[in-house]
Structure 1
Amino acid sequence: MGPRKETTSASAQRSGHAPLIVQVVRQYAPGRGGLEDVVGNLSRLLLARGYRVRVVTCNSLFTDRERSLPALEVIDGVEVVRIPWSGSTRYPLAPQVLRHIRDADLVHVHAVDFFFDFLAVTRPFHGRPMVVTTHGGFFHTKKYAAIKRLWFRTLTRLSCLAYRAVVCCSRSDFDLFDTIAAGRTVLVENGVDTGKFAGLASSLPMRRMVTIGRFSVNKRLERLLDVTARLVEKDPRWHLDIIGSPSDLTEADLRREIAARGLAEHVGVQVAVPNETVRRLISDASIFVSASDYEGFGLVAVEAMSAGLLPVLNSNDAYRSLAGQHSVIRLADFEDASRASDAVEAAFADLTPDPGATRRALIKAAGSYSWDTVVEHYVTVYRDAMAE
C-alpha cells in the first residue's frame, strides 16, 4: 500500500514539512519485547506513509541499567533519542522528555506509566496534542491491587483528560478504560508482524511446545514447568522451549526451577537468541503455551498462530478476549497443573486427524492483525487528534 495524503496539523502545513509524530516509550531497541515491537513496527510504517517519526525512550535497558546506550541513534530510519532516568522500572522518572517533544505535531505515549502522567500534568506548558495507547495499563500483576485500583480511578482518570484519544489495544483494555475515559476511548487492537514466523510450525504433530516472552513473574513460568512435568510423566517425548530474556527472573532462577523438577532433558532455555534460532525452534514444535496471569493484548500468541502453532493459554482477560474471537484457541487454568496438562494433551490429539486444516485456520485468524490494517487505524486517530 503506497503513501497516502493525510490532513496535517496547521503548524506542519505552514512549515511545509510532514507531520512529526513523537513516540514516547520506556523501552525500545536494542531491547526486545512486545512494547518495543509495537512501537518499532508502527514507526516504520508511519515513515513509509510520509510521516516523520522520533522515538523518545530511556537511555539504558532495564535488564542492564548500568550500561548507557547512545543518546541519539537512527534505527531503520527512525530517530531514537534516549534520555536519563531514575527510580523503578515500572515507573521510570525521566523528565527530560519535555526537551524532545517541543517540535512535535503529535505526541503518542505508549503505556500508562511516568511518561503518561508527567506529560498530562505538564500539558499546559508544552501544549502538544497527545494520544496514548494503553498496552494493558498497570495491572500486570495482582501486587498492590487495591492501591492500583485507587490510582486508576483517580490519578489515571485525571491524566486521561489531557489526551485526545485513549487507544486501547485489546477489548479488555477498552472495557476497563472506558469506565474512566468514556468518549475518548478507541479500540485499535495491536498489529502483529504476521510474516516473521509465517507458516513455520511443524507440518506433523510434535509433542514439543514453545513459550516466548520476558522471564517475568507475571508470565508464571513455574506453572508451565509444573504442566510440563505432568506431561513428561505420561509421555517422555514432551519438550518445552522457553524463549526470552531476563526480567524479574534470571536465567539462573529458571534453571533452578527446572532442575528442582528433574526437567533438564525436557526443557530448553533460550536467552536473547536471534530470530533465526526462534524460527528453528518453532519449526520443530506444534503447540504454543502461556501461563501468564496478565497480558495487555496477547501479541506473542497471535505471532504463534501465524506460525501455525496451536495456542493453549491461561484464561486471563486478554486471552479470553482472543479466544472469543478465534475458536481454535484453547484456554486452560494453569494454576491446576493436572487440568492444564490434560488441555495440552487434548490440543495435541485434536491436531492429529488433520494438522494441515488446523494450521490453515490459525494462520488465517492471525492475518486479521496485519500491521498494514492497524497502521491505517492509527493514522485516522492521529488525523482526528491533530485536527482538534
Structure 2
Amino acid sequence: MKVLNITPTFHPEIGGIETVVLNLSVHCQRLGVEVEVLYVSPDHKRLQTRTVEGIKVTDVPLIGSKLVGYAPQLRQAIQGFDLLHIHDPQLMALSVGVMLSGSQLPRVLSTHGGFHHTRRLAGAKRLHEEFALRRMLDSYKLVLATSENDAAYFGRFTKRIRVTGNGIDVQRHRIADRPPSNDLRRWVYWGRLSENKRVDRLLDYAVRLKAMGYPLDLLITGTDVSRLACKFQTRIDSAGLHDSVRLAPPMNDIDLKAALRDRTVFATASEYEGFGLTLLEAMAAGLLVVCRDVEPMNKFVQNGQNGLCLAFDGSDADFAKLVEFLSMDQPHQQSMRSASVAFADAYDWPRIAKRFVSAYSEVLSTA
C-alpha cells in the first residue's frame, strides 16, 4: 500500500496539522505502509524533495493562497500512489486542485476542525457551505473526522464519515524524572498566539489571582501568528506581572521539555480546538490541565480527576474553583497527575495509526 499525505502546512513549520501529518506518516510507515508527503504551499518557489524523519517530502509551489490557489505541478506529483490522504480543513485549494488534476485515485480527507468555528469571513463561509461543501466531500471515499464535533458538523453533508481522532508521541513528551510534587501555581501555555487561543484571558486571570493572594508563575511560549506579543507584554507590564509572567519565543522539543520539567499546570483559555493535541501532550508530560469548558477539551479533562474546566468568563464561580484547585493537597495532586498520564497513553500514535491503516485498507478494498 502506497499512501500520499497532501497537506497545506508541514515541517519546518510548527503546529497541530504539521505534527499530526509527520507522526501519522512515521507510524503508518512502521506498520508497513509506504508513505510520502506532498507539502503544497505558496511559500515554495520550486518543486523539490527532502527527507524528514525518514519520510520523503515533496514541496510543491501553490499559485495564489491556501484558500484559492492552484498547483500546476500537482498532477505530476500524485502519480504512482494507491491512495491520497488529504489534510484540507478549508476544503478549498487542495481539494479543488486534486479534483482538477483528473486523478481517479481513491482519496480520504482529514477534517482537522474545519474552518467554520470562527466568525471570520462568515459570509464567504456560508456560501462555501451552501454551494461547495457537499460537492467537495462527495469526491472523498471516506471522511476521517478529527473529533466528535467534526463528525457532527461534516456528517450533515456526507454519510461517509468516521471518527479517527489524532495521536500524540507520548514518549517524546514524557518527563521521567519529574519531581513527585510541584507548585500548582507554576503554569505554562504553549501554542500559537492567535485571537482564538485567548491568551489575554489567561493574563486577566493572572491579574485577579494575584490580587486574591494566589500569584501565578506563568510561562507563555509560541509562534506569534497574529502579532499579539507586544499587546500581551504591555498588559503584563501595566498589571505589574513582569516578575511572574514571561513571554518566550517558540521552543524546540528539547527546550520545551526542559521548560516543562518544573511546570505543573498547562493552561489554555482557547475558544476552540479541532482536536486538543496540546492538551494531550501536556498530559503525557505529567501536567494537570486547566482549560475552557467546551468540546472537545472537556472530553479530555474531567474536573477533579485530571484537571479543571472553567468558563473563562471572569465569574466568581471560576475563581472559587481555581482557589480550590490551587489549594489541592499533595496526594490528590499526585492522583490527578497519574490519571492525566494514563489518559494520554490511550492516544499514543502506535495505537492511533492502526485506525488510519484500517481505514486505508477498507477504502482500497472497495475502490
The answer to whether TM tops 0.5 is yes
- In the other structure, the counterpart of 1:332 is 310
Aligned match of 1:195 in 149, 166, 171?
171
Within a 5 Å distance, the mapping from 1:153-164 to structure 2 comes to 153-164=130-141
CA deviations on 1:124-157 (whole Å, 9 max, x unpaired) are x111110011000013422233542442343111
* 1:54, distance to aligned residue in structure 2 (A): 1.6
- In the other structure, the counterpart of 1:43 is 25
Within a 5 Å distance, the mapping from 1:67-78 to structure 2 comes to 71-78=48-55
* 1:327, distance to aligned residue in structure 2 (A): 5.1
Distance of 1:100 and 1:120 partners within structure 2:
11
Tell me if structure 1 keeps the 8 A contact 2:266–2:287: yes
Distance of 1:82 and 1:195 partners within structure 2:
29
The answer to whether 1:109 aligns with 2:97 is no
CA deviations on 1:233-288 (whole Å, 9 max, x unpaired) are 22364111112112123543432333343322221122121222212221211111
Distance of 1:352 and 1:229 partners within structure 2:
25
The TM-score normalised by the length of structure 2 is 0.90
- In the other structure, the counterpart of 1:302 is 280
* 1:203, distance to aligned residue in structure 2 (A): 2.5
Counterpart amino acid of 1:346? E
- In the other structure, the counterpart of 1:291 is 269
Within a 5 Å distance, the mapping from 1:177-196 to structure 2 comes to 177-182=154-159, 184-196=160-172
Distance of 1:385 and 1:42 partners within structure 2:
17
* 1:325, distance to aligned residue in structure 2 (A): 11
Counterpart amino acid of 2:162? V
Count of matched residue pairs: 362
Decide whether aligned partners of structure 1 residues 386 and 348 sit closer, same or farther in structure 2, where only a CA change above 3 A counts. same
* 1:115, distance to aligned residue in structure 2 (A): 4.0
- In the other structure, the counterpart of 1:228 is 206
Distance of 1:26 and 1:317 partners within structure 2:
25
- In the other structure, the counterpart of 2:11 is 29
Q: What do you get for the CA RMSD once the two structures are aligned? A: 2.5
Within a 5 Å distance, the mapping from 1:130-169 to structure 2 comes to 130-145=107-122, 147-169=124-146
Tell me if structure 2 keeps the 8 A contact 1:209–1:286: yes
Counterpart amino acid of 2:112? H
Distance of 1:29 and 1:336 partners within structure 2:
37
Identity of aligned residues (%): 26
* 1:28, distance to aligned residue in structure 2 (A): 0.6
Tell me if structure 2 keeps the 8 A contact 1:129–1:385: yes
| Counterpart secondary structure, 1:369 | coil
Distance of 2:45 and 2:250 partners within structure 1:
19
**Structure 1: gaps (5+ residues):** 1-18
| Counterpart secondary structure, 2:57 | strand
Distance of 1:326 and 1:178 partners within structure 2:
33
* 1:348, distance to aligned residue in structure 2 (A): 2.5
**Structure 2: gaps (5+ residues):** none
Counterpart amino acid of 2:145? C
- In the other structure, the counterpart of 2:76 is 99
The answer to whether 1:265 aligns with 2:265 is no
Question: Which is worse superposed, 187-196 or 135-144?
Answer: 135-144
Distance of 1:188 and 1:168 partners within structure 2:
6
Decide whether aligned partners of structure 1 residues 209 and 325 sit closer, same or farther in structure 2, where only a CA change above 3 A counts. closer
| Counterpart secondary structure, 2:168 | coil
Decide whether aligned partners of structure 1 residues 282 and 337 sit closer, same or farther in structure 2, where only a CA change above 3 A counts. farther
The answer to whether 1:317 aligns with 2:295 is yes
Distance of 1:289 and 1:36 partners within structure 2:
22
Distance of 1:149 and 1:339 partners within structure 2:
36
Within a 5 Å distance, the mapping from 1:350-365 to structure 2 comes to 350=328, 352-365=330-343
Within a 5 Å distance, the mapping from 1:376-387 to structure 2 comes to 376-387=354-365
Counterpart amino acid of 1:93? G
Question: Which is worse superposed, 166-175 or 251-260?
Answer: 251-260
Counterpart amino acid of 1:309? L
Distance of 1:75 and 1:370 partners within structure 2:
20
Tell me if structure 2 keeps the 8 A contact 1:85–1:92: no
